[in-house]
Amino acid sequence: MDISQALQFWWVFPVSVGIATVALSSGISGALFFSPFFLLIVGLQPAQAIGAGLMTELFGTGFGSYNYMRQRVIDFQTVRFLLMASLPAGVAGALLANRIEPGILRVIFGIVLVLLAVIVLYNSTQKGKPPDPRILDQARKTTVIRARDGNIYSYRTCNRFIGVPLAGIGALLTGLMSAGLPEITTTQLVLRCHIPPRVAIATSIFVLTVTVFFAAGVHALAAQPAWHIVTWSIPGVIIGAQIGPRLSGKVPPHIAERVLGLLFLLIGTLVVALQVLG
């Protein structure tokens, strides 16, 4: 890595602190911010932007998973099922990202970003709605999570095999675009399985961390990593990870998600428009 080249991108550090703070305080995947930032602002090629986004995200989710493990709020039985699909799909997506022509990858990236924005906006309208009794009746047993702080989360275990293909789709998008798995997984765990949000988010983050570890490794081996960028973004994420959780709850979640969803919709449309019209 050229030190002089790395020093030119010092400004990535404060931006990364801000992105991580916003992402972790709102519960949205940081990769939804980082990949467009690396692509449109920093000027990396699509495969490099996605790889840098995954490497940066790995450190943020790694710290998050460690904290959730200490809190004992991860549903490891569900994790085991979801990883069956997310691991191979995430690796497959990372391999594809380095074999698709950059222009086509930009268009795919923009379209996927628009679709994820729709998921985020839909999720923001569903929170607070009562569970569907037809879904609960399909449950076969009860799962109990005993958190370190004394809280007990008890919920009916829904059909996990339905979530496996959904996790696979999300992981494929994450390997290909560096985003998708937490949005799809958390949404289906909360809305379909009615798992308490704290447990659903912790479970989703742990699945994401393991999947991203392997997907980022594939990107690092298959392409030239943007070390001059992640040298600044990774420390920024670590600092933002300490600030974001402290700000969580200051803005109502459904309002934050709607604002961010509209932002992602705008960015995705812009990426596609610039590629098609350019």
**What type of residue sits at position 159?**
N
Average pLDDT (222-235) is 84
| pLDDT score of 13 more than 90 | yes
**pLDDT of 136:** 46
CB burial class (10 A; 0-12, 13-18, 19+) of residue 20? buried
CB burial class (10 A; 0-12, 13-18, 19+) of residue 51? buried
Q: What is the chain's mean pLDDT, rounded?
A: 79
Q: What are phi and psi of 211, to 5 degrees?
A: -65, -45
- Please count the other Cβ atoms lying within 10 Å of the Cβ belonging to residue 22: 18
Which tens digits make up the pLDDT trace of 28-67?
667 677 877 888 888 888 778 888 888 888 887 888 788 8
The DSSP code for 275 is H
**pLDDT of 22:** 75
Average pLDDT (106-114) is 77
Return the axis-axis angle of helices 253-277 and 102-126, rounded to nearest 10°. 160
* pLDDT bracket for residue 12 (50, 70, 90): very high
**pLDDT of 14:** 93
Residue ranges covered by each domain of the chain: 11-277
Residue given tokens 């390997």 in the structure block: 175
**pLDDT of 79:** 93
Which tens digits make up the pLDDT trace of 249-260?
555 656 666 776
CA distance 204 to 213: 14
**pLDDT of 119:** 72
**What type of residue sits at position 8?**
Q
Average pLDDT (219-224) is 74
CB burial class (10 A; 0-12, 13-18, 19+) of residue 150? exposed
* pLDDT bracket for residue 211 (50, 70, 90): very high
Question: Poorest-confidence range of 23-32, 64-73, 189-198, 262-271?
Answer: 23-32
For residue 130, is it left (φ>0), alpha (ψ between -120 and 50) or beta?
beta
**pLDDT of 29:** 64
**pLDDT of 37:** 85
